[in-house]
Amino acid sequence: MNKAIDASKEDATFGILRLKRDIFSKSTIGLVVADKEYGNAYSRVAGLDLSLRPSDLILLNVQVAGSWQPGLTEGNIGFVSDISRIADASSAKFFYERLSPDFDVNQTGFLRKETHRGRERMGLDLVYSPRPDIGAIKQIFLTGFIDAQKPILTNRYLNDQTTSYPTTVFSSDFLDEKRGFGGGTSLEVRFDSGARVEAFASKQHRYDITGGYDSDSLRVSISTPSQYKVAFRASAYVNDFYNFGRRHISRDWSFTLDTTLRPQDRWRIESRLRHSRTFDPNNTLEDRIWLGSLRTYYLFSPDTYLSLFAQGRSDHTPLGTQETFLISSVFGWEFTRGSRLFVAINDSRDDGSGTFHLNN
């Protein structure tokens, strides 16, 4: 056995407890506790979520959690909330999110956040969704949104950035945690056949390490009816973003093709092929990415299923090529009504050797 590969393994003990209970007639309250012990370190999370539906039109969601890790002490609370009014012809949603600088669940979940840096974000979404009597159109969704976002900084974060990038000069607007604003709109048309056409555009002004910048996004997509044995979704996306590694604004464009096959009523296969390219302010190519994935579901019975997933990604940069592979499987069994057992196995490889070897 290759000892160098073995050394890259992470030995950890992981556990999670999830409790959820219905309250009133259409509301729920839940508790989640997760713990990961690895080496001399640990990552622990405890959270409470509440979903209240006082009427058929109003929905309130609140999630609050705390995280504990060695050395992370400058605020460890995450808070997310939203309130919505939902109707067939129109809806509105206001949300507020605040993640403290040392709230960190990267080890136990999939919420991405920089270490020692937090954020605050709020916004309002408005949707108008008429059902016009026009040809084969079933419903139209016209959405408009506005939002505001600002960083929450600590001295440890600034010191880390200076250590990693000694030439960094921090913008005064960034150090003052100045709030940036943005807005956008989207249009979705659903047809009687089940096909969809969507378009999305947004413009946002944000503040980061080197100052203020504008982030423009544009996305278009088309989907064939999902009830058929073969369905497709094609989408194209262009986006400006702050490139932390290079300290400038980069532009990314991508094309994605999703395919869904249903060979049998109990068997579904999903595939994805994506290609994206990133360019610097001088329109020089920075990164070229190919990603492919395959996922299959099989339903053995109404309460038992198996899911298998495989993904490969290849990043081509001026510094070289990096390949990443992932394989995962999930077995689910609802052994009594409302009680479920899940067994998951995951393997991954993330290096530049070019050899498909799972070691994680």
pLDDT one-digit tens code per residue, 203-236: 999 999 989 999 999 999 999 999 899 999 999 9
**Separation CA 202–CA 223 (nearest Å):** 21
Q: What is the CB neighbour count within 10 angstroms for residue 7?
A: 8
Question: Mean pLDDT across the stretch 44-56?
Answer: 92
Q: Band of the pLDDT at 72, cuts 50, 70, 90?
A: confident
Q: Quick one: 245 exposed, middle or buried, by C-beta within 10 A (0-12, 13-18, 19+)?
A: exposed
Provide, rounded to the nearest whole percent, the portion of the chain with pLDDT above 90.
Answer: 63
Q: Residue 96 above 90 pLDDT?
A: yes
Tens digits of residue pLDDT in 98-118 = 999 988 877 666 566 788 899
E strand spans, the chain: 13-23, 27-38, 41-52, 58-68, 77-86, 90-99, 118-128, 137-152, 180-191, 196-208, 211-223, 230-243, 248-264, 267-279, 285-301, 304-317, 320-336, 339-351
| Residue whose C-alpha is closest to residue 93's, from 105, 104, 101, 81 | 81
What is the reported pLDDT for 111?
Answer: 64
DSSP letter for 160, please. Answer: H
Q: Is 173 helix (H, G, I), strand (E, B) or coil?
A: helix
E strand spans, 170-303: 180-191, 196-208, 211-223, 230-243, 248-264, 267-279, 285-301
DSSP letter for 156, please. Answer: H
Alpha carbon 110 to chain centroid distance? 7
Cβ density class 45-69: b for 16+ within 10 Å, e for less: bebebebbbeeeeebebbbebebeb
Query: Residue 107 carries which side chain, given as an amino acid letter?
Result: Q
What is the reported pLDDT for 243?
Answer: 84
Q: Is 302 helix (H, G, I), strand (E, B) or coil?
A: coil
- Beta bridge pairs of residue 73: none
Residues ≥6 apart with Cβ < 8 Å to 243: 249, 250, 278, 280, 286
**Separation CA 238–CA 217 (nearest Å):** 6
**Separation CA 89–CA 131 (nearest Å):** 8
Token digits for 43? Answer: 């990552």
**Separation CA 199–CA 203 (nearest Å):** 14
Tens digits of residue pLDDT in 282-303 = 999 999 999 999 999 999 998 9
Q: Residue 310 above 70 pLDDT?
A: yes
Is the whole-model pTM more than 0.85? no
What is the reported pLDDT for 2?
Answer: 40
**Separation CA 182–CA 241 (nearest Å):** 14
What is the reported pLDDT for 3?
Answer: 39
What is the reported pLDDT for 322?
Answer: 85
**Separation CA 258–CA 11 (nearest Å):** 35
What residue ranges do the domains of the chain occupy?
Answer: 231-360
Tens digits of residue pLDDT in 8-35 = 566 778 888 889 899 988 899 999 999 9
Q: Residue 271 above 80 pLDDT?
A: yes
